[in-house]
Homo-oligomer: A and B are copies of this chain.
Amino acid sequence: MSAVPTGERQPAVPEDRVTINDVARLAGVSRQTVTRAMNDMSGISAETKARVLRAAARLEYRPNRAARAMVRGPGTTLGLVIRSLWNPFFAEIAESVIDAVHARQWNLHLSYVGSNGRDALSVVRDMAPEVDAIVGYLPPDISRELPSFTGPLIQLDISGTTGQDAGFRFDLTHDLGLVVQRFADSGRRGVAMIDGSVHGGPSVRAPIFTELAREAGVLDDRVGVTLTDESPEGASAAVREMLDRSPDVDGLFVFNDVMALGVMHELTRHGLTIPDDVAVIAMDGIRLGAYSSPPLTTVDLDPRGLGHAAVAAVGDVLAGDAPRRGRGAQWQRRHALLVRQSG
């Protein structure tokens, strides 16, 4: 018995694929001449080139990318894994990663973990054999689940974990300090938080925020943190539930911008005005936040900068200029508060 793969395999190789030899034969030239014609190389006459291109078109010839990549060198492919694309925060990160990757002549594989019911591990497992490096929002220490993947793996947010993952660590004490300060400055005394569930559990932002808010004397201790889905729908529901429990909340810190949209929607529906009755501050800095009503006050996480930085980090690791794991591969970022009208 011959060795067989355990899992099923690709649809096998098609019979009818047309190769460079077919084109050469039809055009009455050699392989090399076809190559010259297809790749705009010198050393070929105009007539011959035209004849070859005509033959190629007639056969619907498409050069085999794998064969070409093999001899030319494989290039670099980056894998990006984010949570949903419909959330503009991740979409903006994706945009900047696309830009940065294109500038380096790399390829990109994009996937997302979200409403499609796929979990991060299975997405990354599928992606790993196809890419040279991975960037994304992934569970801590995921590289332990991927022993066969030896390329660089960079987390877009490792705040809160103490592991050895490479990635970006947000200075939450600084960032959330700004938020708390803002609530205090505008005289709020009953601030609560709507948290978004990340890998099934609460976020790291919640305990840090509540501690800072309590210290500053602005926290509504009766309400505290409400945990819900990372979506406007979830946020709306959380607000309804919260308003039932405690009608006198006067400030809300929301996990992210799209959730804040759901929050403001729900507050308005209940006849509350923002920010007079309830101030709303969120985190992300999406472009559309400037056009909500009222415009959203938020921590500007600078998604475009984050994407660029991540690609640059991958480049450094690949070039051997940065360590692959551990403290030396963790970069801290601190952000500014984008003050608009909502809080």
Contact with A290, one of B41, B85, B232 (Cβ below 8 angstroms): B232
At the interface, yes or no: A102 with Cβ under 8 Å from chain B?
Answer: yes
Contact with A147, one of B57, B88, B99 (Cβ below 8 angstroms): B57
In contact, B86 and A38 (Cβ under 8 angstroms):
no
In contact, B9 and A72 (Cβ under 8 angstroms):
yes
Nearest residue, chain B, Cβ from A3 = B43
Proximity string of chain A (1-25) to chain B, C-beta cutoff 8 Å, 1 when within and 0 when not: 1111111011111100000000000
Chain A interface residue number, banded = 35 or more
Q: Which residues of chain B are within 8 angstroms of A114 by Cβ–Cβ distance?
A: 95
Known: A3-B43, A151-B62. A70 touches B72 (CB 8 A): no
Contact with A7, one of B40, B86, B148 (Cβ below 8 angstroms): B40
Pick from A2, A102, A236 the residue with the most CB of B within 10 Å.
A102
Known: A61-B150, A147-B57, A150-B62. A6 touches B42 (CB 8 A): yes
At the interface, yes or no: A107 with Cβ under 8 Å from chain B?
Answer: yes
Cα distance A94–B9 when bound, in Å?
Answer: 26
Q: Which residues of chain B are within 8 angstroms of A9 by Cβ–Cβ distance?
A: 72
In contact, B290 and A292 (Cβ under 8 angstroms):
no
Contact with A98, one of B71, B108, B110, B236 (Cβ below 8 angstroms): B110
Q: How many copies does the complex hold?
A: 2
In contact, B39 and A5 (Cβ under 8 angstroms):
yes
Q: Which residues of chain B are within 8 angstroms of A84 by Cβ–Cβ distance?
A: 95
The smallest beta-carbon distance between A57 and chain B, in angstroms, is 7
Nearest residue, chain B, Cβ from A68 = B66
Q: Which residues of chain B are within 8 angstroms of A171 by Cβ–Cβ distance?
A: none
In contact, B75 and A85 (Cβ under 8 angstroms):
no
Proximity string of chain A (37-67) to chain B, C-beta cutoff 8 Å, 1 when within and 0 when not: 0111111100000000100110011111111
Cα distance A271–B265 when bound, in Å?
Answer: 19
Proximity string of chain A (106-119) to chain B, C-beta cutoff 8 Å, 1 when within and 0 when not: 01111110111000
Pick from A95, A150, A291 the residue with the most CB of B within 10 Å.
A291
Known: A110-B98, A130-B107. A287 touches B40 (CB 8 A): no
Can you give 23 contacting A-B residue pairs, CB < 8 Å? A3-B32, A3-B36, A3-B41, A56-B148, A60-B150, A63-B129, A64-B74, A66-B67, A66-B74, A85-B85, A85-B95, A85-B98, A86-B95, A86-B287, A98-B111, A102-B111, A107-B109, A108-B110, A236-B291, A261-B291, A261-B292, A265-B292, A265-B295
Q: Give the top 10 A-B pairs by smallest Cβ distance, nearest first.
A: A66-B69, A13-B73, A3-B43, A66-B70, A261-B291, A91-B91, A85-B91, A3-B41, A60-B150, A265-B291
Residues of A at under 8 Å CB distance from B?
1-7, 9-14, 32, 36, 38-44, 53, 56-57, 60-75, 77, 84-86, 88, 91-92, 94-95, 98-99, 102, 105, 107-112, 114-116, 126, 129-130, 132, 147-148, 150-151, 232, 236, 258, 261-262, 264-265, 268, 286-288, 290-293, 295
Known contacts A6-B41, A65-B129; can you find 11 more A-B pairs with CB under 8 A? Answer: A3-B42, A4-B42, A13-B73, A53-B148, A64-B70, A66-B68, A86-B88, A86-B91, A91-B91, A108-B110, A232-B288
